[in-house]
Structures are given as structure tokens and as C-alpha cells.
Structure 1
Amino acid sequence: MDSRTIDIEKKLRGYLFGMACADALGRPVEHLTLEQIKEKYGEGGISELPPNSPWTDDTQLMLVLSRGLLHGAELELPGLMDKIAEELVLWLDEPDLGAGATTRGAALNLNDGIHWSRSGLNSKTCGSLMRVGILGFIFRNDPEKLIKAALFSGRITHFHPVADAASIAGAYAVKLALDGVSPDEMFLPLLRVTEGISDEFTEALKGSYEMAHSSLENKEALQKIGQGWYADETFALAYFCILRYPDDYKKAVQTTVNITGDSDSVGSVAGGILGARLGLEAVPISWIEALKEKELLEEMVAPLLEKYLQVSQNKLRS
């Protein structure tokens, strides 16, 4: 294995474990207010993963999407979406880890035989955003396919302009992270790839960037951005935290989950992006060791790396 392949493998592990650990850290506090979090965990909020910490539907659905990619990333988009839709139907038999009504409703539509192009529900919640980062890995070297795959795979469950823009941004941010682009330098490329899709998302992205560069304290800025139940807010909150702590995975993730809102989803998005940028070594070893079912993530590394290399080679030949 050459040095470039070793490096991308470390970043893949950084993405997978970075996302899952952040997801698990946010899980116990998702439905608590910031005041309740502090009352339970102290003034600093939740800061460490206890042993045997499970992840939520965020990581579960990222793995569902990953399996779809393993079965069809090299296919044209309609064929790939068929594979992803098949995995979403199979997911209905997995344990319920807290998935939203939109994703489950869309999967039930698929199970009833409704085509993936019509299965999505009109919703701007964050279920499509939270799972798409893995697309940024697989299609890192094919940005055109990356953008289209993020858009169409998101629409399988969430059919709304806000969800469209957030899905593209979530996947593209991971691609940029793998390319070594700093969070600050991600701003203009993210604006460009989401331009004209959703005014709500554009305003949220701009607001996140401006507040991260302001003198506002984290608590005040995060409250202004929102609670993260809708995809534009989810991405904006995550982006704010990685802008504030671009080289500190742990601090960024701790900041994302100690909010009044969708702690695990905001954490998942930020943790995946920073994990991809900084690599596995940035994720605390104690968090990885505390993660329940971490072997399921490890089992995905080799096949996902192989698929990444296959897709990248195919792109070079075309």
C-alpha cells in the first residue's frame, strides 16, 4: 500500500469514527436543553464518552448508504439510487435507533413499491444531510457525480430545497476536508455548489461564517443559528463549530453537542468533516475505545477503501 493510500485510509477511519463518536456523545443529550445538560453533567456539559456508548440513527443510516455505495458506486446514478433504495428497505428491519418520521416514511414508501424518485417526503429536516458525508469520500475525485449523488440520494427521503442544499454541502464538505481545505477556505466552494438551490440554506451558511468570525461567545452564536432540527441549521451549527476549532476535533465536537437542539446530528456532521480532515489520530482514543459496536465501522474500512480506489481509477480512465 503506497503512502497516499495509507493517508486516505487514515482519513476514512477519521471520518467513520469521527462521525460515530460525535453521534454517540450527542445521543444522551439530544432532547435536553442546554440548561438541563449543565444541570446533569456540570457547567462544561457532556464532555466524555462512557464505556459501551451506542450511536444513533445518524451513523446507522450512514452505514446504510455506505452499503448502497459498495453495491453500486461505479454505476450510473439511476442504478446507484436503486441500490441505495434497496438498502433503505432492508434498514426497516434493523433496530430503531431514533430515526425521524421522514426517513422511515420514505423507506416505507419504497417498501410499498413506490419508485425512489417519488418516495421522498416534503421535509427540510436533517435526515438526508447526516448520512451523506460518505459520498464525499467515495466520489472525492469526481465532484460532478458527488454533487448529483448527494442531491438524488437525499431526495429518496427528503424532497425539499433546504434538504437538497444541505445534502450537497454535507457531502462536498467531506470532499474538501479530504483535499486538505481548511474550514475557513470551504466557505466559497460550499456557496458555489449550493448556489440558487435554497435561499434559507444560503442565509444560514453565510450567517454561520459571519458569526464564527465575530466576537460572539459560542453559546450566544449557537442560539442565534438555531437548534438543528432543520437541515440548514444543522449544517450551519456544525460549520460554526469547525470554523471555531478547525484543528481541535474534541473541542469542536464538545461544542456541537452542548446545545439546546439536535445534538447528535450536529455532532455527527461536524465530527465527520473534521475527522476526514484531521484523520483518525485527532479522535480521542478513549472515545473510540468506548464506542459500542466499533467493529462494525472497522469492517467497512477495507471495502470502502477498495470502492474509493475503483471509482477514482474509473474516473481517471474516462
Structure 2
Amino acid sequence: MRTRDINNASNIEKKLCGYLYGTACADALGRPVEHLTLEQIQKKYGEEGILELPSNSPWTDDTQLMLVLARALLRGAELELPELMDKIAEELVLWLDEPDLGAGATTRGAALNLRDGIHWSNSGLNSKTCGSLMRAGILGFIYRNDPKKLVKVALASGRITHSHPVAEAASLAGAYAVKLALDRIEPMEMFEPLLEVTQGISPEFTQALKSSYITAYSDIEDEEGLKKLGQGWYADETFALAYFCILRYPNDYKKAIKTAVNITGDSDSVASVAGGIFGARLGVDAVPISWIEALKEKEILEEMVGPLLEKYFQLSGSKLRS
């Protein structure tokens, strides 16, 4: 392998690890406080809220379902959309036998529809919750160099569980933001491409994206800005809150994630979306090593790196060579 190819492979591996660990660590930090109000968080953890991952911290369904989608991509990312969606449907059915890490009723209901024989084109529920957004980032990695397919797969793989336009737009934004992060696009400069790629899908999402950008660059304090954007239970709010944290702290993963989890709302989902985008842009070195070491079952992420890299280079037309 030429030196340039080796350097490129090494850089992509760091970005992939950044995405995987950035997602999982942020998810795990938010897990204990997901259903607490900010006041309850501060009462339990102090005025600054939860700040560190304790040893052996588990992730939630956010990371679990991202890995479900990743396994489907390993089985068939190169396939045409109908065949790939069959693989995703199969993995969602298999997921029903995995431990329940807190998955929402929409994703579980859609997976049960698939198990009952309902075709993936009709299995999704008309819900604007964030279950499809939280798993979508891995698509931005796999299809980084094929944006047309990225858009198609992000929309279709979102609809398999969440058919509401808000969820569709958010899923696409979540995937496309990771692609932009890998392309070294600064968070501020992501706004126009995200606005363009999601245009016409959901006016609610468009408004949330604009509000996130405007609020992040206003004089409002973090706490009030986050309250203004919502609580994150719906996908447009989830992405808006995550993007706000990235815009406020574009080069500080730890500060951005601590800001994301210390909210009244869906702490783990907001943080995991932000963490994945952050990690994809800045690489694994941006994620605190103490947090990575504190992750429970981090070997599962380690085992995914090689196969996902191989799939990435296969789709990019330049396989890894030893």
C-alpha cells in the first residue's frame, strides 16, 4: 500500500472510531439522566450536572440500534435499495431478541410489524419521535462518497420505523451531517447543506434547524437556549438541540456533550447525535480516553471497526490492501 493510501486509511479509521465512540460515550453519559428534569439532575449531581462517565457505563438503545443498522450495512450496503432494505428489516426483527435498553414504542412497534410479515415499505409508524434519527449517522460514514444513495437510504431506512415527515427530515439530516463532518465541514458551514438536502420534506424540521442556528449565535445563555429549542423527544428538536451544542462548542467534544446531557429532556439521544457528528469531524482523539475506557462492552465497537472500514473502502472503489 502506498504511503498516501496508508495515511488515508489511518485518518478514516480515526474518524470512524470517533463516530462510534463519540456516539456511545455521549449516549452513556446521558443514560442516567434521560428522564430527569434539569433541576433533578443538578440536585443529584451538583450545579454543573453530570460531568463524567463512571466505570462500566452502558449505552442505551441509541447506540444499540445504530449497531443494528451497521450490521445490516455490512451485509448489503452495496445492494440496490429494495434488497438493502430487506437486510435492514431482517436485522430489526433479530434486534427484538436483544436486551431491552430502553427503545421507544415506535421502533419496537415497527419491528413487531416486520416480524408479523408486514413489508418494510408499510411497517413504519406515523411518529415524529427520534428513533430513526439516532441510528442514522452510520449511513453518513458508509455512503460518504455517494451522496445520492446516502439520501435514498437515509429516507428509506428512517421510514421503516418512523414514517412522519419530521422524522424523515431529521434522519436525513443526522446522516448527512456525519458525511459533512467527515468532509471537514465546519459546523457553521453545515447549515446551508443541511437546509438544502432536507428542503421540502418537513416545514417543522426546517424551522427547528433555522432556530437552532439562530439561537446558537445569539447572546442567550446555554440553558435558556436549550429550553427554547425543546426537550428532544421529537426528532426535529433532537437534531436542533444537538446542532446547537455543536455550534456553541465546535472544537470541544466534552463541553458540547456535557451541555447536551444536562437538559430537561431526551439527554442520551441529543448527546449521542451530537457526539457522533463531533467524533466524525474531529476523530477519536477528541473523545476523552477516560470515557472510552469507562464504556461497558466497548469491545463490541472495536469489533465493528475493521468490517466497517472494509465496507467503506469497498464502496469507495479502493479496497484496503495489506
TM-score by length of 1: 0.98
Matched, 1:243 2:250: no
Query: Structure 1 residue 160: deviation in Å?
Result: 0.6
d(CA) in 1 for partners of 2:312, 2:122: 29
- Aligned residue for 2:139, secondary structure, equals helix
1:95 is matched with which residue?
99
1:205 maps to which of 202, 206, 209? 209
Query: Structure 1 residue 106: deviation in Å?
Result: 0.2
Matched, 1:20 2:24: yes
Matched, 1:299 2:303: yes
Superimposed CA distance per residue, residues 112-134 of structure 1 (whole angstroms, 9 cap, x where no aligned partner): 01000000000000000000000
- 1:70-89 matches, within 5 Å, as 70-89=74-93
d(CA) in 2 for partners of 1:118, 1:136: 24
- Aligned residue for 1:157, secondary structure, equals coil
1:309 maps to which of 300, 310, 313? 313
d(CA) in 1 for partners of 2:252, 2:216: 15
d(CA) in 1 for partners of 2:83, 2:25: 32
2:73 maps to which of 69, 73, 83? 69
- Aligned residue for 1:227, secondary structure, equals coil
Matched residue type, 2:224: E
Matched, 1:287 2:259: no
1:42 is matched with which residue?
46
Matched, 1:154 2:158: yes
Alignment: residue pair count: 314
1:222 maps to which of 219, 226, 229? 226
Runs of 4+ aligned structure 1 residues displaced above 3 Å come to none
1:51 maps to which of 48, 55, 65? 55
d(CA) in 2 for partners of 1:74, 1:132: 17
Matched, 1:165 2:169: yes
Matched, 1:11 2:15: yes
Matched, 1:185 2:189: yes
- 1:250-269 matches, within 5 Å, as 250-269=254-273
2:200 maps to which of 190, 196, 203? 196
Query: Structure 1 residue 21: deviation in Å?
Result: 0.1
Gaps of 5+ in 1: none
- Aligned residue for 1:11, secondary structure, equals helix
- In percent, how many aligned pairs have the same letter? 80
d(CA) in 2 for partners of 1:47, 1:91: 31
Query: Structure 1 residue 312: deviation in Å?
Result: 1.1
Query: Structure 1 residue 253: deviation in Å?
Result: 0.4
Matched residue type, 1:113: G
Matched residue type, 1:240: F
Query: Structure 1 residue 79: deviation in Å?
Result: 0.7
Superimposed CA distance per residue, residues 208-228 of structure 1 (whole angstroms, 9 cap, x where no aligned partner): 000000000000000000000
1:133 is matched with which residue?
137
Matched residue type, 2:194: L
Query: Structure 1 residue 184: deviation in Å?
Result: 0.3
Matched residue type, 2:283: G
Matched residue type, 2:251: D
CA RMSD, Structure 1 to Structure 2 (Å): 0.6
d(CA) in 2 for partners of 1:166, 1:313: 29
Matched, 1:121 2:121: no
Query: Structure 1 residue 161: deviation in Å?
Result: 0.4
Query: Structure 1 residue 273: deviation in Å?
Result: 0.2
d(CA) in 1 for partners of 2:201, 2:44: 40
TM-score by length of 2: 0.97
d(CA) in 1 for partners of 2:197, 2:51: 34
- Aligned residue for 1:80, secondary structure, equals helix
